[in-house]
Amino acid sequence: MPGFFYIADSDPPVEEEPFVETNTYRATRKDLTIDHVLNRMGRRSPAYPDTQRLFKVLFVLVYDPDRPLPTEDVNEVRHYASVMERDFAKATGNRGTITTAFGTPTSPRRRSARH
């Protein structure tokens, strides 16, 4: 993994003002390597390739049961769920997947061996 950096002690503080590309900031560049991360966080457990690949995420739409549930709201939640599934796969280089399906897939029932 190539080295990376973060900005510390910015003036003005970045967290207090919206970052504007055209503004000038004073800050300290802090260079890091993967060794810094490993020293701080430890090795990954479980180690690759025995890592989780499928993540389940549930989207919940809260509504007033005394009023009709707007179809547009349901469609919007479904849209955000599909965008999250797509973007997560892209962000992980298709090494990870999110499913937003509720419940478990049904499998065919097996017959008892006894007759």
Q: 13 vs 4, 21, 26, 29, 67, CA distance in Å? A: 21, 14, 9, 14, 46
Whole domain around residue 69: which residue ranges? Answer: 50-102
**Residue 68 falls inside a structural domain:** yes
| Mean pLDDT of the region 56-79 | 94
Burial letters 7-25, b for 16+ CB under 10 A, else e = eeeeeeeeeeeeeeeeeee
The count of domains in the chain is 2
**Residue 19 falls inside a structural domain:** yes
What pLDDT is recorded for position 53? 94
**Residue 110 falls inside a structural domain:** no
What pLDDT is recorded for position 107? 46
Confidence class for position 115, pLDDT limits 50, 70, 90 = very low
